[in-house]
Structure 1
Amino acid sequence: MFQNILNKKKRKNLHICLKLTLTTIIMILFYISLKYFYLNKNKSDSNKNDYYQEKIYKKEEKDSNYYNKQKKDLNIELQKLKSQYQQKYDLLLYQNKKKISQNEEIKKIKQEIENIKKKIKIFDKIIITFEQKNKKL
């Protein structure tokens, strides 16, 4: 009988031990599967993120290259326009100076003409007076 009780206790202990072992194995497997799933999910997320980051970077690089090229082209156009307008400005400035100098020359010539007219009037008066004196004599 004592043997029987011992066997029952052993069986019971064995049964509990098997349950614990089985539960532990199930827990370990569950933990491994969660970890594997979580790691794969993170890897796939990180791969997706890397993929999208790379795609975004390439797009930004492409846009950057395009905008840099556009900027360079616009700067070249701007330089051309600046040089054209600078040439036009220089030409107009030269023409303006030329006109000013011509106007000054015209003023001088007019002044000389006025002076000559005055002298002519004076000479006319002198001639008239001489003629009058000549007639009197």
Structure 2
Amino acid sequence: MAARSKARKRAIDILFEAEQRQVNAGDLLRERLAAPVTEAPLSEFTADLVVGVVDHWNAINDLLTTYSQGWTLERMPAVDRAILRLGAYEVLFTDVPEGVAISEAVALATELSTDDSPKFVNGLLARIAEVKPTLA
């Protein structure tokens, strides 16, 4: 797995853990940076991803809610929410090519979630990428 893919997975781990523990992901990130719980410290890219998602949390959640036809955020598996938040952040707020961001999110969904999740993640992030030019 490439370094940036590993960094994305670690960002998903933090976003998922924060939600499960009902703590702010930014606070959990600061805790992990101060006292790592793994042999390898978190990369700068992982930290940037988590901070970006946290900084745009409400906008991302609003878009996911708006474009996930028939699915509320609460109804989605928690790992899918984390993957979608990260994917939406990369699609909307970074220089990562949209296709790369979506492909990485789909790969994470394939590895970490249900059999139906990759298709759902792909469709929802593709829709967000499609409407991106209309969001101002």
Hey, which of these two has a bigger chunk of helix by percent? 1
> TM-score, normalization: structure 2?
0.15
Q: Based on CA coordinates, which of the two structures has the bigger radius of gyration? A: 1
TM value normalised by structure 1: 0.15
